[in-house]
Amino acid sequence: MSRRTLLIALPLIAALIWIVAFPNVAVIAGSLDGGGMHWVEFMRSPSDREALWTSLWISVASVIASTAIGLPLAFLLQRAEFPGRKVLSAVATLPAALPPLVGVIAFLFLYGESGAITRTVQSLLHLDAAPWALSGPWAIVFVHAYTMYVYVYLFVSAALENYDTSLDDAARGLGHGPIRRFMRITLPLLTPALAGGALLVFMSSLGSFSAPYVFGGGLRVLSTQIINSKLNDAMGVAFVETAVLALSAVAGLLLLRWLEGRRQYTITSKGRAIRTPIRSRGVKLFAIVLSTLVVTILVLPHGMVLLTAFAVDGAWTTQVLPPEYTLDNFRRLLTDPQLLPPIRNTVVMAFIATAANVVVGFVIGYLTVLRKFSGRKLLEILAVLPWTIPPTAIAIGLASTFDSFDPWHGKVLLVGTFWILPLAYFIRGLPLVTSAVQSSLRQMEPSVEDAARGLGASWWLTMKRVVIPAAKPGLIAGAVLAAITAIGEFVATVLLFTLSNRTISVEVLQQLRSQAFGTASAYSVLLILMTFILTLTARWLQGRSEPMIVQ
């Protein structure tokens, strides 16, 4: 254990205990004020019990719905070759490019009571009222399924790329039918991928605020209940609700990890997945029609947001589509002194948080993968802890910890200042960068660093020529994910922002409340463009990376 390692690790552990662990401890301590009476109040409250139960079953339903979409889609695109497959593959991950609030807005404009699809169906069927109301728990599950199935799809697709289809051929030769082959061979091998995707869906759904807020119709879930309690100055109950939300997320994580670990399967053959061309004309035609329909459904939300961004505010009332269009919405974003600050705040705060994520995430990845020291496991746990905590709980913890200046108790005043939001974004993005860097560095043979030092290279030269290049793919991927998360973050922001540091996501909600649909959509298009620019930049940087032999 080197002195340099300890000099880096110990302050880092202390800082993470302060900004990651301490706020959560403060929430638990706050919930216990009054001898646990707030917990008694929570358990006796019908609204809080309803919020807990509703949050849990909506999250489970979202997992089921997302799996029902993502699993078949992954099999279709990875196992079959048909006309339109490449186009469908290109747009299959489009929902991931929609920040949560933007996705909710797109569904509101498409499927809400005054939405374009709703009005179209109403007109075609000559109905006096909207054929449906996008409100209530199943509306939330519907929105979650569209925006979150991508997790299941990506995890299963990655697993199928490494899947040896010769296993199915062997089982077929032994007389096993398709259902038996799927249940006995395919599904067990895909269990880790399914568990990983399901876990992301469950955690995202449990902490979801945008969809329940817009489409809940008065339905209580824990994320909205926490904000209501905070606004009503019932902080003791808010602390209990936050603790229950965090504990529910951790329980879901442990349950899925247990299910994943019940069986361990490994592919030992060196075969590869093979796509099977569709020969039947009827099946091929059906695949083409289905692909066209799915592509249309996936592209519609983006197209609707883009179309509405050019709509004149106040002109879209009872028409199927906005009747008047203008460029003024985008022009005002860049010239109106009231509309420009949210853009500047979003970019600056996301940049600060992501830059800090890159530096700290790289250091943690380096220490936990390539160095051995007392406290390494604690450092790794502190780095991934925010991943298990919903953003609402993170925001409440920060609000309760950094609301006053009290150095003796580890408190500084950040609430109401510019820096509280970059701190929240940093905490949320840290697990993304750390995990990505760890994955990259684990592919590097540790002896390479020792060999460089043995040949006389200094510590800094070894880092520059060996370790940083090895970590670069993970750094780029993690930084992009952290930046995308920061620019579209809404849940923690709505709890911590002030008028001076409001972001695009908060301003979008404000414009919606003012019925300024065109301005809200213009902001949304800007968020989507930022996401695409970040993604393209990451691909360009990865393309410039020089291959390096690390074994």
What is d(CA 150, CA 219) in angstroms, rounded to the nearest whole number? 26
- Complete DSSP assignment for 435-453: HHHHHHHTTS-HHHHHHHH
In total, the chain counts a number of residues equal to 551
What is d(CA 131, CA 494) in angstroms, rounded to the nearest whole number? 33
Residue 548 pLDDT > 80? no
Q: What is the pLDDT of residues 97-125, one digit of tens each?
A: 778 888 888 888 898 888 889 989 988 88
pLDDT range class, residue 169, cuts 50, 70, 90: low
Other CB atoms within a 10 A radius of the CB of residue 289 amount to 11
Residues 379/368, Cβ–Cβ less than 8 Å: yes
The pLDDT assigned to 542 comes to: 66
pLDDT range class, residue 55, cuts 50, 70, 90: very high
Domain count along the chain: 2
Residue 192: name the closest of 218, 141, 158 by CA.
158
Alpha-carbon distances, residue 522 vs 418, 429, 510 (angstroms): 25, 26, 13
Evaluate whether residue 548 is within a structural domain: no
The pLDDT assigned to 350 comes to: 95
SS3 string of 378-401?
Answer: HHHHHHHHHHHCCHHHHHHHHHHH
Q: Are 83 and 163 part of one and the same domain?
A: yes
Residue 368 pLDDT > 80? yes
What range does the domain containing 300 cover?
32-265+277-309
The pLDDT assigned to 353 comes to: 96
The pLDDT assigned to 547 comes to: 45
Q: Which letter, b or e, does each residue of 224-247 get, where b requires 16 or more Cβ atoms within 10 Å of its Cβ? A: bbbbebbeeeebbbbbbbbbbbbe
Q: Are 195 and 141 part of one and the same domain?
A: yes
Q: Are 95 and 196 part of one and the same domain?
A: yes
What's the whole-number mean pLDDT along residues 212-229?
A: 86
Q: Are 530 and 437 part of one and the same domain?
A: yes
Evaluate whether residue 484 is within a structural domain: yes
Residue 305: name the closest of 518, 139, 530 by CA.
518
Residue 300 pLDDT > 50? yes
What's the whole-number mean pLDDT along residues 335-347?
A: 91
Q: Are 53 and 9 part of one and the same domain?
A: no
Q: Is 121 exposed, middle or buried (0-12, 13-18, 19+ CB in 10 A)?
A: middle
The pLDDT assigned to 247 comes to: 86
* Helices within 276-373 (DSSP H only): 281-309, 328-335, 340-370
Q: What is the pLDDT of residues 469-511, one digit of tens each?
A: 878 888 888 898 899 889 988 888 988 988 888 999 999 988 8
Of 26-35, 130-139, 456-465, 512-521, the least confident: 456-465
pLDDT range class, residue 522, cuts 50, 70, 90: very high
Evaluate whether residue 358 is within a structural domain: yes
Query: For residue 454, which amino acid is it?
Result: G
Q: What is the pLDDT of residues 261-297, one digit of tens each?
A: 665 555 544 445 566 677 777 877 887 787 788 888 8
Residue 58 pLDDT > 90? yes
Evaluate whether residue 293 is within a structural domain: yes
pLDDT range class, residue 1, cuts 50, 70, 90: low
The pLDDT assigned to 52 comes to: 92
Q: Are 7 and 101 part of one and the same domain?
A: no
Q: Is 507 exposed, middle or buried (0-12, 13-18, 19+ CB in 10 A)?
A: buried
- DSSP conformational letter for 464: I
- DSSP conformational letter for 406: B
Average pLDDT in the chain: 82
| Portion of the chain with pLDDT greater than 90, in percent | 18
Q: End of a domain among 253, 285, 309?
A: 309
Q: What is the pLDDT of residues 443-461, one digit of tens each?
A: 666 666 666 666 666 666 7
What is d(CA 136, CA 58) in angstroms, rounded to the nearest whole number? 11
Q: Are 15 and 59 part of one and the same domain?
A: no
The pLDDT assigned to 420 comes to: 94
Evaluate whether residue 270 is within a structural domain: no
Q: Are 19 and 36 part of one and the same domain?
A: no
Of 50-54, 97-101, 352-356, 540-544, the least confident: 540-544
The pLDDT assigned to 541 comes to: 76
Q: Are 22 and 37 part of one and the same domain?
A: no
The pLDDT assigned to 32 comes to: 86
What is d(CA 437, CA 540) in angstroms, rounded to the nearest whole number? 18
What is d(CA 490, CA 213) in angstroms, rounded to the nearest whole number? 12
The pLDDT assigned to 85 comes to: 78
Evaluate whether residue 127 is within a structural domain: yes
Of 60-64, 170-174, 189-193, 204-208, the least confident: 170-174
Q: Which residue has the higher pLDDT, 258 or 413?
A: 413
Question: How many CA atoms does the CB half-sphere of 475 hold within 13 Å?
Answer: 19
| Portion of the chain with pLDDT greater than 70, in percent | 86
Evaluate whether residue 161 is within a structural domain: yes
Q: Are 233 and 248 part of one and the same domain?
A: yes
The pLDDT assigned to 351 comes to: 95
Q: Are 249 and 382 part of one and the same domain?
A: no
What is d(CA 444, CA 439) in angstroms, rounded to the nearest whole number? 9
Residue 530: name the closest of 331, 351, 335 by CA.
351
Question: Which sign does the torsion angle of CA 226, 227, 228, 233 carry?
Answer: positive
What is d(CA 355, CA 256) in angstroms, rounded to the nearest whole number? 32
Give the domain CATH number at 22.
1.10.3720.10
What's the whole-number mean pLDDT along residues 223-249?
A: 86
3-class secondary-structure state, position 410:
coil
The pLDDT assigned to 550 comes to: 40
Q: Are 74 and 221 part of one and the same domain?
A: yes
Residue 422: name the closest of 474, 355, 361, 480 by CA.
355
pLDDT range class, residue 523, cuts 50, 70, 90: very high
3-class secondary-structure state, position 15:
helix
Residue whose pair of structure tokens reads 């302050």 in the numeric block: 11
The pLDDT assigned to 3 comes to: 76
